[in-house]
Chains A and B, each alone.
Chain A
Amino acid sequence: MRIIALIKQVPDTGGERRLDLTTGLLDRDASDKIIDEINERALEVALAYKDANKGTEVVVMTMGPEDATGTIRKALSMGADSGIHIADASLVGSDSAWSAEVLAAALQREQFDLVVAGNESTDGRGGVVPIMIAERLGLPAIGSLDSVELSDGSVRGERATESGSMTVSSALPAVISVTERAAEPRFPNFKGIMTAKKKPIGVLSLSELGLSEASGGRSVVLSTQERPARTAGKKIVDDGSAAAQLADFLAAERLI
């Protein structure tokens, strides 16, 4: 089986993230950049299948700036076999529709049984790119899987509904996305880190994909405003009366 995992470089959610107030785009220099945690989980789904099924090949694909190579290397050190990096200066600030069009064009050049992605990135949060890709490629898609069972010709799993969950399945090839329930990602080990340096990464430009610019509707940022940061209020150390003081505070605020 050949599995392609889609990965994305994002600002570390563990630190403060900033938007550029004039463009509304992410201020890329304000934060550390890492592989999105949800992508590590998606990759884990692929790697777990590879561990159990010899002959499985796992490829990671990313669209991102030049330094997103670091994200690919991380994935290779976890155990992916090779990487594909769509890097083009004109892709800065792409919206979800255009990102999906570019990724779909790159996937079209590949053989695969399964494309696996995260259900939503921590910086975009749209949760639409994997499904847009499936629509473009004419493939069945299952988004937001909480668990994944992969077999030779099919994929099955559970996903949440408003009132519980459902079991869903599809023949392969298919596109799936996973939630943070789906898998706990492994840590790269020393051997993985060493061999990752030798694994191949193919770089693609937009013109190599036969694309130039987005054709359809685009989402456009009109304005960006920063809200004042929240500040700390009263802090007391419990001396036996804290609960009573809190009850007084809640009553004064008309919350009880």
Chain B
Amino acid sequence: MSNVLVLAEVTPTGELSATVPSLLAAAAKLGTPVAVVATAPGVGSALTEQLGSLGAQKVYLAETDAAGSVLSGVAADALTSAVEALQPSAVLLAGSIDGREAAARLAVRTNGGLVHDAVDVRADGDKVVATHSVFGGAYTVESTVEGGLAIVTVRHGAVEGTADAATPEVVNADVSVDASKYAAIDSFNNVKAETTRPELLGASKVVSGGRGLGSKEAFDLVEKLADSLGAAVGASRAAVDAGYVPQSYQVGQTGVSVSPQLYIALGISGAIQHRAGMQTAKTIVAINKDGDAPIFEIADFGIVGDIFTIVPQLVEAIEARAK
């Protein structure tokens, strides 16, 4: 089977990115999964066992001091060298900021073809076929790369399953990075607070709040309902813009796309750009005081009413049932 490279991103604190497991699972559908790791010396070698347990049969390890100080260049250089050394049939990367940048540079360097935001991949003969969910799930598109190396960015949380664990062979690569070609990382800041809530991406239940909450303090209501359901918390762009929650909570066209079992929209009108990020949810519940709000067009259960009255009652009812 041909090699399929995965860019295994490593966080500034030296852990494997949450995107790695599903990338390796996707790679296993196409060939022999090889993890390409670009990190500071000592960091990557500590991760090989974990990469093996996630399915990497080989780890192509580029350890360099430049990893924490050169922006996206180290990953691009490591991948370029891995492509030369291992002649893969495809390269899979996360749709993250770093993943996209490495994909972009690699595509230019290898004269390869890039398909992005795949929600699934499969092999068809020697072709790599990627599935995409376009315009908020309104269309399903399949695409492939012709005439060059297939470079695919994969939507986080979309590809399910796991690859069989392996004991990876480690290849130490000598990658020397010319820092003058890239931007510099000056510092890493404000690491996100730990939370016991599920991550928005991949959560099976999501409760989102919109401008209808009216204030940062009132957004508590969304969190209370989320906690009673064990759900992740999301928001509309208007709620993010108003400063109720950080940008990472944004669901929609320019935020994250979620496909949970249950999506509850509180005080969200249901603008088309918001719907683009949640309309593939299995069950949608909406509470809005405006009976004409477009969110009701796609809600399985809609309540026309005031969130400040209904949500506390709902939390109580859910807690009563849990007992």
- Residues of chain A having any CB pair with chain B under 8 Å: 13-17, 19, 24, 38, 95-97, 100, 120, 122, 125-129, 131-132, 135-136, 138, 140-144, 146, 156, 158-170, 174, 180-181, 215-227, 229-238, 242-244, 246-247, 249-251, 253, 255-256
List, in ascending order, chain B residues with CB within 8 A of A131's CB. 72, 100-101, 104-105
Question: In the complex where A222-B143, A234-B300 touch, is A126 in contact with B114 (Cβ < 8 A)?
Answer: yes
Q: Report whether A242 and B305 are in contact in the complex, using a CB–CB cutoff of 8 Å.
A: yes
| Cross-interface CB contact of B283 among A16, A219, A255, cutoff 8 Å | A255
Q: Report whether B114 and A95 are in contact in the complex, using a CB–CB cutoff of 8 Å.
A: yes
Interface assignment of B256: CB less than 8 Å from any CB of chain A: no
Q: Report whether B298 and A230 are in contact in the complex, using a CB–CB cutoff of 8 Å.
A: yes
Q: Report whether B304 and A236 are in contact in the complex, using a CB–CB cutoff of 8 Å.
A: yes
Expressed in whole angstroms, the minimum distance between the Cβ of B93 and any Cβ of chain A is 10
**What is the bound-complex CA distance between A233 and B301, given in angstroms?**
6
Task: Name 14 interchain pairs, CB-CB below 8 A, sorted by A.
Answer: A13-B272, A125-B116, A127-B100, A132-B108, A141-B72, A166-B12, A167-B189, A216-B147, A218-B145, A220-B145, A224-B141, A230-B298, A231-B298, A246-B314
Q: Report whether A218 and B186 are in contact in the complex, using a CB–CB cutoff of 8 Å.
A: no
List, in ascending order, chain B residues with CB within 8 A of A161's CB. 11-12, 97, 188
**What is the bound-complex CA distance between A218 and B19, given in angstroms?**
26
Interface assignment of B115: CB less than 8 Å from any CB of chain A: yes
List, in ascending order, chain B residues with CB within 8 A of A167's CB. 185-187, 189
| Cross-interface CB contact of A233 among B114, B248, B299, B313, cutoff 8 Å | B299
Q: Report whether B309 and A238 are in contact in the complex, using a CB–CB cutoff of 8 Å.
A: yes
Chain A binding surface, main DSSP class: mixed
| Cross-interface CB contact of A168 among B13, B185, B271, B279, cutoff 8 Å | B185
Q: Report whether B148 and A218 are in contact in the complex, using a CB–CB cutoff of 8 Å.
A: yes
Expressed in whole angstroms, the minimum distance between the Cβ of B114 and any Cβ of chain A is 6
Question: In the complex where A221-B141, A255-B205 touch, is A247 in contact with B296 (Cβ < 8 A)?
Answer: no
Q: How many A-B contacts are there with CB distance less than 8 Å?
A: 273
Q: Report whether B139 and A164 are in contact in the complex, using a CB–CB cutoff of 8 Å.
A: no
A119's closest neighbor in chain B, by CB? Answer: B97
Question: In the complex where A217-B147, A220-B145 touch, is A174 in contact with B302 (Cβ < 8 A)?
Answer: no
B248's closest neighbor in chain A, by CB? Answer: A160
* Seed contacts A120-B254, A132-B104; 6 additional CB < 8 Å A-B pairs: A17-B135, A164-B188, A166-B185, A168-B183, A219-B144, A246-B310
List, in ascending order, chain B residues with CB within 8 A of A253's CB. 262, 283
Complex interface bits, B157-185 against A, C-beta within 8 A gives 1, otherwise 0: 00000000000000000000000011111
Interface assignment of B190: CB less than 8 Å from any CB of chain A: yes
Q: Report whether A169 and B186 are in contact in the complex, using a CB–CB cutoff of 8 Å.
A: yes
List, in ascending order, chain A residues with CB within 8 A of B96's CB. 162
A184's closest neighbor in chain B, by CB? Answer: B241
Q: Report whether B183 and A170 are in contact in the complex, using a CB–CB cutoff of 8 Å.
A: yes
Interface assignment of B297: CB less than 8 Å from any CB of chain A: yes
Q: Report whether A236 and B302 are in contact in the complex, using a CB–CB cutoff of 8 Å.
A: yes
Q: Report whether A243 and B299 are in contact in the complex, using a CB–CB cutoff of 8 Å.
A: no
A128's closest neighbor in chain B, by CB? Answer: B104
Interface assignment of B103: CB less than 8 Å from any CB of chain A: yes
